[in-house]
Structures are given as C-alpha cells and as structure tokens.
Structure 1
Amino acid sequence: MDKLFLRLLRSFDPVLSKAGVDTGQLHEILRVKLMMDNRRPRTLFAKRRASSGNVGNPWMLMFITMLMGFFIGLLLFFTNMPLAGHTFYFTIFMVLMCFTLVTDFTTVLIDTRDQYILLPRPVNDRTIAVSRILHITIYVLRLALVQGLPGIIMAGIADKNVFSSLLMLIEILEATFLSILIVNLIYLAMMRSVNPQRFKDIISYFQIAFSTLIFAVYYLLPKLIDFKVLRGMDLLSHWWAYILPPVWIAALNGAVIHASQITVVIAALAVLGLVTPIIGLWFVVKVLAPGFNRKLAALSTSESVETAVKVKKEYKEDFRDKIANIVAPDPVENAGFRISWKLAARTREFKMKAYPSFGFVPIMFLYFTLSTGKGMTMGQKMAKVQGGASYVFLVYLSTIVLSTILTYITQSEKYKSAWVYYALPIGQPGKILSGMYKAVVTLYFLPFVIILGIGMSIVWGPQVINDIILSFFICVIYGILMALFAVKGLPFSKPVMNKQGGGRAISSLVTLGLVGILGFGHFFIVKWETAVWLSIIPVAAIAWTMLHYYGKTTWDDLESYEEYEVEKPKTIKKPIYKTK
C-alpha cells in the first residue's frame, strides 16, 4: 500500500516543484519514514513485560476500525435528504480523523530525532515540512480508507447508484485532506507564534480538552438532540451550514448524484470542498513552512532562537510551599508533598492521563441525569433532579478523579530515577507516601470538590454543605484504602502499567464496595441534617487514623521499580580457567 501511495504522489511532482520542494529528496525521505513505521511495533498494544511478546494484531485493529465505519455509515440512511445524511456522516468521520491526528501528530510532525540526519544535509525547510505533512497524510489515509470502506459500499446502496460509491471514495479522501489541513494549520501557526516550551504545553492541554470533548459528545449528544427534528432538517436554511467543511464535502454528492436537485449554492459548495485542500497546502508550504526546521530544532532543546542569557534567580516560595508547611509539618512528609506536586505539575504524561478525569465527572453526572425520566422534557428532568438528593451521587462520582490521580502519580516513564528514594537515609517511607497523598487531596481533589460544592449550593441550596463535607471524608477514606491495597508505590517510582493484576483488581473492587456501602448509608440519612452533621466527626476521625496508619508503611510493604523491570539481567557465570 505504501508503494501505491508513493506512485500516486509522483503525479503532484510538478506542483510541489513549483512550490520549492525537492521532489527527489521528498520521495526518499518518505520511503525511509514509511519503512521505519512498518518496522516499529504499535505502542498502543505494546506490553511492558517482555514475557508477553504480543504487540497487537493489525487485522483485529482493522476489523474494529471497519466496524466503527459501519456504524457511522448507518447515518447515510438516517434521513431522506442526501445532503443531510452525508453531512452527518462526514462530521463524525472528520472528528475521528482530527482526534487521530491530535493523538499521533505530536510524535510525527514534531518528531525531532531525524534532525540529526537531515540538518547536515542540503535539505530545505519546505521539503522537510512537506515530508512531515505527507508522512502523516499517508499514515491517516491507511486508517481513512479502512474506516471509510463500509461507507463507500453503503453509499451505493443508499443512493441505489454504483457511481455513488466511487464518488464516496473521492469524498472520503477530501475529508481526510481537510482534516489534515485543519490540524496542520493550527499546529504550524502555533509553532510560529509561541515559544517552544509554551507550544508543548498548549498541545498537551489541547489534547486533554479534545479528549474530554469527544467523551462529552459521545455520551451527551444523543441525549440532547431530537432525532425527529434532525431527519427533516434543511441544512442550507441555516447560515452556519455554509462554513462547515462537512457540508462542502456532502455537496459534491448532491451536485453529481442528485443532479436534478442541484442549485448554484450546492455547486459552489462542492467546488469549495475540492479547492480548499489544494489552496491550504499551498498556504502551508509558502507561508508557514519557512523557519519550520528552525522551530523544530528549538523544540528539541526546549529553547527558542532568541533565548536570552539565563540569570540565576533566588527561589521564592509560592502558595503551594506554604500549604505544604501547614499540611505536612514533618520534614520527610513535607518532602513527599513537594516532590509529588512539583513532578505532577511538570510531567506532561501525568497531565494527559489524569486531567481528563476532571471533565468526566460532570459529564457522567449529566449523562445519568438525562437518562432518567423517559418521556419528560429537559425542564422536567432538571426540576426532578433539583428536587431530589442526586447531588450526593455527584460527590461520590468525583472519586474517579481521586483514583485516577493516585494511579498515575506513582507511574513514570523515567521510573529508574526512583533510586534516589533508596539512597536517602529514610527509615520510614510511609511519611513520603502520606505526604504524597496529602498533596493529591489538597492540591487536586479538595479544590475540585470545592468547585462542585459551589455549583451544588447554587442549584440545591446551602443545606447541602454538610453532605458535601461528609462525602468528602468518605472519599478520603476510599483514597487511603486504594493507596494501601492497590497503589503501593512512591511518587513516580513505577513503570507505566497497562493492566492490573487479578489480586489488585479484586482489592479495588472490594474497596469500592465498602465505600459504596458508606455512600448508601449517607444517602439514607440525607433527610436528617443533625444526623449528617454528627456523622462527620467519626468519619473524619477514621480518615485521620487511616492516614496516620498509612504513614507507617515500611520498605517491605512497597513495590520497588525492580519488580517491574522489562528485562531482567541474565546471570553471568564465573569463567573457569584451565591450567596447563
């Protein structure tokens, strides 16, 4: 398939040459990059342990992708209006393409390892920029063709025209190129306007926000949309439809297959969809590509070209240091507190895995809220929720944040740096663990609960404050139980684990069950304000006692990083020397 893409690419050599791209160098760079892609195992299915040599079945991945494409293709039969059906199809198709680009684009477009090979060679910036764009294009085209294959077949069935399937292939290619162009423009424009370190942070937060958006769309959109209205919707009667790329793509089907319904507007939109990727590629090459190589070099060193001479500044304590001195007065515990929040604030991998959970909690609450009361209007559902005690469920649902942060705050790709813990004269590592847990609760979980509490007080009234306090301490107990039985690791001291062991999963379920019992007990006494206030004192005392016990964890209770080594060192036999 790679050879086919490279041969098709040669037909664009005249256009690329006029844009200042060395086509000979371009084809050679792409050939080597694609060869390296085929040799590299898919990290999505890679295992940390060497004993399990499976790296994922590409045929199974292809089957899952085609199955996803089949369900998206059902939208072509959703309405009797072909323009609307194709618009809905390509909206989801392009969202999935953009999501794939966002997750993979950083490792492909911003991969600076090949700079050591290309920089000493006479390769211009435009050739390198176009090679990266075409590399990700070919990578995504593989996915697009597999995902779009069911849609190609189903388009012919929906329109009862074989030529519609061939046109659908052109539309899928058009949607893929537009998705690539959109993400390209965003990434390259940011690279020209912000410094390298800031650019990396923006990309990380963009990926977090985008994954949260996808989660919200998947769960909430079907609950918020009236599909009966969508089936009879006339898209072109709304002004905003004219600026949506999926409408441009869908217009091609309306202009060619349904020629009897063609208008000047539909024809113009179809032409716009065909011309936009070409104009966008020219804009990227001519405007954004110059200086591309220099920006990548700056990214690799996390310094901009105009970096000023660094002046050594005296460290000043911020509010988190003051919080650490108050919450963790013990020196060792204070060190555990500080190293936890500092490493968590600086580690992008931790942010990418932990921060989306903050958005998942309100989304899941809205999902469960909208799922109740079938036949009710939106106003009736919200009135029912406001009149009940479902706010208790919202606070306990926030344990997703606590469990996610506790899981990932002990994991790191650079876990071998944890030797420093064992080199320090620390007799009781439990103090580091209690400092870590206090950092998680104080800097992440407590602010999140306070924000939820403010919103709950506005919706349900100030009488819910005692319920928020009680549920907070119960969640703290859950976090300590999870840390005792499921985490068992110092901050950022263990390798990234893809799955839990059986015993650890059982411990997590038992812990969740115990907290669930406490939560149901809280739900039954929620009507009695005095009982809730009185329950806070013993629950808080239990939480403090458990945290004190957690601080007495010994070295024997911990799981060291050596237990997770990917490859154990082989035993070296002592050589036997024979004497003559």
Structure 2
Amino acid sequence: MDKLLLRLVSLFYPVLAKTGVDTQQLDEILRVKILMDNRRPKAMFAVRKGAKNDGKQSPWLVSFVTLLMGFFIGLLLTLNQKPYVGETYYFLVFMVLMALTLISDFTTVLIDTRDQFILLPRPVSDRTIAVSRILHISIYVLRLALIQGFPALIIVGFVDGIFAVPLFFFQILEATFLSIFLVNVIYLLLMKSVSPQRFKDVISYFQIAFSVMIFAAYYLLPRLINVSVLGNVDLLSHWWAYLLPPVWIAALNESLIHASHANYITRILAIIGFTLPFAGLWFVAKVLAPGFNRRLAIIATSDGNSNAGTEVKKAGKFSLISKLANFLAPDPIENAGFRITWKLAARIREFKMKVYPAFAYVPIYFLYFALNGKGDSLIDRWNKLQNGHNYVFLIYLCTFILSSILMNISMSEKYKSAWVYYALPVDKPGKILSGMYKAIITLYFLPYCLVLSIGIVIIWGPQAINDIILAFLVSLIYGILMALFMVKGLPFSKPVIVKQGGGKMITSLLILAFIGAIGFGHYFLMRWEMAVWIAIIPALLINWLMFRYYKRQTWDNIEMTEI
C-alpha cells in the first residue's frame, strides 16, 4: 500500500522538479517518514498507554470505522435525482472530514522541528523540506481517503454505471489533494504573515472552532433540517455554489458521464478542479516554501507566552488579578495557588484546547435536548421551550465545563516544573487547592454562567433569577465533590493521562447521578417560588462547609508525582 501511495504522489515530481525541488532527496525523505509513520500515535482512535498494544491503535478498528463512515456518506449519492448535485453533497462532506483529519492529526507534523536536527546540516533546500512535509501528510490522508471512499465507489457503480467507477476513484484523489493543499496553503500563509507565537494561537483556536462546528453540525443539523428535503434542493441554482471546490470535482463526472447535461461552465469548472492540485503544489513550492526552515526555527524557539512582553511591562502595576487574588484569597499560600492557577490556565495552549470546546458544547447539548421532538415544527418546539421551565437544566449542564476544567487542571506536559510545590514549606496543600478552585471559578465558570444567566433572564424573565442562583450553587457543590474525589494533584503538577482508571470513572458517574437527582428535584420545586429562595440558604451553607473541608486537605490526600 505504501509503495502504491508513493507512486501516486510521484505523479507530482515533474511539476516539483521545475520549481527547484530535489526529487531524489524528496523521495528518500518520504520513504523514511513512511517507515516512522506507523509508530506515531494518532489523535483519533487513540487508546490508553500502558495497554497491551503500548498506545498504538488497532488498524483494523480504524479501517472498520472509516469504512462504516464512508458507507453512510456514500448514501448522499442517492439523495438527489441529479448525479451532479448528489456528488456535490458527497464531496462536500468528504472534504470537510479530510480537513478535520488534517487539523486534528497533522498540524503538528507540518510545523514539527525534530527532524531539523538531521536535515539542517545537510544540503536540503527549504522547498524540498516544505514539500516533503505536505506530501508526507498527503500519503497518510490518501490512505484514509481510499478506505473511506471505497463504499462510495460501489454505490456510484449502481447510480451512474460501471464506467463511472474509475472516474470516481480519480475524483476521490482530486478531492483529497484539494483538501490537503487548501488547508496547508492557509497554514503556510499564516506562517508568513503573523508572528510564530500568534501562528500557534491562531491554529489552536482554529482547531477548537472547527471541532465545535463539526460537533454542532452532528447534533443540531438533523434537528433543524429535514434531510429528505435535501433531495429536492437544487444547490446549483445559486451562483455562489460554483465557488465551492466540491462542485468543481463533481463537474468532472457531469462533463464525462453526463455530457449531454453539461454546459460550458460545467466543463470549465471540471478543468479548474483537475488543474488546481498541481497549481497549488507549484504555488507552495515556488512562493510559500522559501524561508520555511527559518520560520520553523523561530517557531521552535518561541515557546513562551505571546503576551510575555506586555506582562513584563505591567509587572510593577497593581493588576486586576492582584486585586481579585487579594480579595478572594487573603491567605498567602491560597493567594499563591490562586495566582499560579489563573496565569497558567489563561496561558497554556494545551489546557485551553481541551477546555474551551466545552463552553460551546453546553448550549449545543441544551438545544439538542430542548428541540428534540416529533411531529412539531421548529417554531412550535421553540415556543414550547420558551413557555416551559427547562432553562434550569442549562445551568446544570455547565457542570460539564466544571468537570472538564477540573479533570485537566492538574495535568501538564511540563509537569516537572511542579518541584516548587514540594520545595516550599507548605504544611497544608489544601490551601493551594482552594486557591486553585477559586481561580477556575472566577476565571471561567462564573463569567460563563453570568452570560448564560443574562440570556435566560432576557428570554424567560426575572422569575428565573432564584432558579439560576440555586442551580449555580448546586453546580459549585458538584465542583467541590469532583475536586475532592477526582482531582488529587496540585495545579499543573501531573503528567498528561490519556485514560483514567475504572474506579475514578465510577466515582465520577456517582457524583454526576447525585447532582442530576438534585437537579430534577429542583425542577419539581420550581412551582413554588418561595421554596426555591429558601433552598438557596442550605445550598450556601453546604458550599461553605465543603469548601472549608477541602481547604484542610493534607499531603496524604495528594497524589505525588516523581519529578
């Protein structure tokens, strides 16, 4: 399979040779990278390290899931009576999934600097290195694309006849290369136009936004759109549709298999789709690749904070963080825990990438459950939601954010810096933990709940204020329970764990079930306004008592990490 993919990629060598790429060096670099490729764990389908397969995912599992996904996507080919429209739908979803794979698995490969120690001392040009990285990515994505496109090859044989199968195979290659080059051209343009640190931030936020978009599309689109209606939608009746790359790819089938239906615009689009991968590779090698090694070196040495200079200038000023820390955490040790958690949680890119998507998942989950209904129109379901009391569950869903933050707050790639906790004369680490808990509530949870609360009050009215307060306090009880039983480490002091143990999973589910039961009890209590106001008092008392207990945690309750 690897040899076949190398031969497919070698079709671009004549174009690359004219741009100054050393194709012999390129071929050797690709061969070595392919040998190492199977040793690198992927973000998708990863399993727990330390298992029998030592962190490697089963290729059979990946292939089965990819084939199954390809089958369901292939059904889009039968959705519309016009093959041109059906293929446009198919390649639209196909290219989005390819782009998601590139962003989730191979962003780090493009800007990886580890092989520079081997390649930089040797006479390898910027063009050769940049193109080798893109083609290395292409080989991996091609492997997935061919597996994912296999069911569609069979389906298109029934839809358009046997002669459309080899053409569709070429269209899959075309869509894959277009996805690769469009994503990588954006990355390389960003590397040229923004600072290295800003580039890392932009890529991180782009990954977060893209994952949220896919999540929202998966859960909300089936509720908001009747899929059967797509069969009657003529997408190509809109002029902007011809600007979409999937339309260019589908135009090739329309021009060759259904030539009687194709006009001159369709043929022009087919030519554009055929030539764009070659033109894109030439553009990368000729325009964007020069200076690639220098920019990689700058990225490798810019591991600091993007606003480090600003922080240095403001070091002597009494900032907002200092005011909040002194007010909320007057104890010196607790104050230190508050400050270090606030600053690291706001700066560490890996932590933000794990936590930030949860902020978007909460309203998506709420709308998914709230608009879930059969027989009613979307407007009727919204009116029913607005006249009901389901808004209280929106605040309780925020515990998902709190859980995500707490499960990641003690983990860091650079956990060895946590030696400072153990070197200082701290008798009660619970003070550091209490400062940590106050910081994450103040930095993330409270502002987010305030934003949601304003929206709830605007939509459902002021009578929801007491429910918001009670739900918020119960959510804080959930947070302290999670912190007591699940978070056994100091802030950013433990190595990243891929999968938690079964005991902790059961504990987490029990805590979630307990809070869920309280939430449903709150829902039935809402018919008595005064009862909700009265329930706020014991909720406040329980929070105060539990937090005092949490603050008294000793070193025996902390999971120590070897530094």
Secondary structure in 2 matching 1:371: coil
Post-superposition offset of 1:498: 2.5
Query: Corresponding residue for 1:4?
Result: 4
Secondary structure in 2 matching 1:426: coil
Query: Corresponding residue for 2:545?
Result: 545
Query: Separation in 1 of the partners of 2:348 and 2:303?
Result: 18
Post-superposition offset of 1:503: 2.1
Post-superposition offset of 1:197: 0.7
- Map residues 145-156 of structure 1 onto 2, 5 A cutoff: 145-156=146-157
RMSD: 2.1
Post-superposition offset of 1:19: 1.0
> Does structure 1 residue 75 correspond to structure 2 residue 76?
yes
Post-superposition offset of 1:205: 0.8
Post-superposition offset of 1:559: 1.6
Query: Corresponding residue for 2:107?
Result: 106
Post-superposition offset of 1:256: 1.6
Secondary structure in 1 matching 2:371: helix
Secondary structure in 2 matching 1:493: coil
> Does structure 1 residue 442 correspond to structure 2 residue 452?
no
1:130-187, CA deviations, whole angstroms, 9 ceiling, x for partnerless residues?
111111111111111111111111111222x112111111111111011111111110
2:404 corresponds to which letter in structure 1? T
Query: Corresponding residue for 2:365?
Result: 364
Unaligned stretches of 5+ residues in structure 1 = 566-580
Distance 1:298-1:156 versus aligned 2 partners, 3 A rule: same
Post-superposition offset of 1:259: 2.2
- Map residues 195-234 of structure 1 onto 2, 5 A cutoff: 195-234=195-234
- Map residues 435-514 of structure 1 onto 2, 5 A cutoff: 435-514=435-514
Distance 1:42-1:355 versus aligned 2 partners, 3 A rule: closer
Query: Corresponding residue for 1:403?
Result: 403
Post-superposition offset of 1:52: 6.6
Distance 1:359-1:309 versus aligned 2 partners, 3 A rule: closer
- Map residues 116-155 of structure 1 onto 2, 5 A cutoff: 116-155=117-156
Query: Corresponding residue for 1:319?
Result: 320
Query: Corresponding residue for 2:334?
Result: 333
1:327-366, CA deviations, whole angstroms, 9 ceiling, x for partnerless residues?
1111111111111121112211111111100000011111
1:89-125, CA deviations, whole angstroms, 9 ceiling, x for partnerless residues?
1111111100011112322110111222222222221
Query: Corresponding residue for 1:351?
Result: 352
Query: Corresponding residue for 1:554?
Result: 554
Post-superposition offset of 1:462: 1.9
Distance 1:358-1:527 versus aligned 2 partners, 3 A rule: same
Which TM-score applies when normalising by structure 2? 0.95
Q: Is the Cα–Cα contact under 8 Å of residues 196 and 303 in structure 1 kept in the other structure?
A: no
Query: Corresponding residue for 1:573?
Result: none
Query: Separation in 1 of the partners of 2:169 and 2:294?
Result: 37
Distance 1:157-1:205 versus aligned 2 partners, 3 A rule: same
Q: Is the Cα–Cα contact under 8 Å of residues 84 and 250 in structure 2 kept in the other structure?
A: yes
1:217-243, CA deviations, whole angstroms, 9 ceiling, x for partnerless residues?
111111111334311122221112111
1:274 corresponds to which letter in structure 2? F
Query: Corresponding residue for 1:53?
Result: 54
Post-superposition offset of 1:11: 3.8
1:380 corresponds to which letter in structure 2? D
Q: Is the Cα–Cα contact under 8 Å of residues 249 and 273 in structure 1 kept in the other structure?
A: yes
Secondary structure in 1 matching 2:106: helix
Distance 1:309-1:24 versus aligned 2 partners, 3 A rule: farther
Q: Is the Cα–Cα contact under 8 Å of residues 98 and 179 in structure 1 kept in the other structure?
A: yes
Query: Separation in 1 of the partners of 2:303 and 2:546?
Result: 46
> Does structure 1 residue 34 correspond to structure 2 residue 34?
yes
1:266-318, CA deviations, whole angstroms, 9 ceiling, x for partnerless residues?
222212211222222222222211222211111011189xxx99996461342
Post-superposition offset of 1:444: 0.5
Query: Separation in 2 of the partners of 1:66 and 1:367?
Result: 27
Distance 1:8-1:179 versus aligned 2 partners, 3 A rule: closer
Q: Is the Cα–Cα contact under 8 Å of residues 16 and 285 in structure 2 kept in the other structure?
A: no
Query: Corresponding residue for 2:63?
Result: 62
1:387-413, CA deviations, whole angstroms, 9 ceiling, x for partnerless residues?
000110111011100000000011122
Query: Separation in 1 of the partners of 2:153 and 2:325?
Result: 59
1:275 corresponds to which letter in structure 2? T
Post-superposition offset of 1:61: 1.1
1:523-574, CA deviations, whole angstroms, 9 ceiling, x for partnerless residues?
1121322222222122112111111110011111122224xx9xxxxxxxxx
Q: Is the Cα–Cα contact under 8 Å of residues 15 and 282 in structure 2 kept in the other structure?
A: no
1:448 corresponds to which letter in structure 2? Y
Q: How much identity, in percent, do the aligned residues show? A: 62
Query: Corresponding residue for 2:523?
Result: 523
Distance 1:380-1:108 versus aligned 2 partners, 3 A rule: same
Worse overlay, 357-366 or 71-80: 71-80
Secondary structure in 1 matching 2:411: coil
Which TM-score applies when normalising by structure 1? 0.92
Q: Is the Cα–Cα contact under 8 Å of residues 70 and 149 in structure 2 kept in the other structure?
A: yes
Query: Corresponding residue for 1:577?
Result: none
Query: Corresponding residue for 1:292?
Result: 292
Distance 1:19-1:461 versus aligned 2 partners, 3 A rule: same
Query: Separation in 2 of the partners of 1:559 and 1:195?
Result: 39
Secondary structure in 1 matching 2:163: helix
Query: Corresponding residue for 1:532?
Result: 532
Query: Separation in 2 of the partners of 1:416 and 1:380?
Result: 56
Query: Separation in 2 of the partners of 1:92 and 1:50?
Result: 34
Post-superposition offset of 1:263: 1.8
1:175-226, CA deviations, whole angstroms, 9 ceiling, x for partnerless residues?
1011111111110111011100111111111111111111001111111113
- Map residues 154-165 of structure 1 onto 2, 5 A cutoff: 154-159=155-160, 161-165=161-165
Query: Separation in 2 of the partners of 1:7 and 1:54?
Result: 30
Query: Corresponding residue for 1:572?
Result: none
Q: Is the Cα–Cα contact under 8 Å of residues 42 and 105 in structure 2 kept in the other structure?
A: no
Query: Separation in 2 of the partners of 1:182 and 1:14?
Result: 21
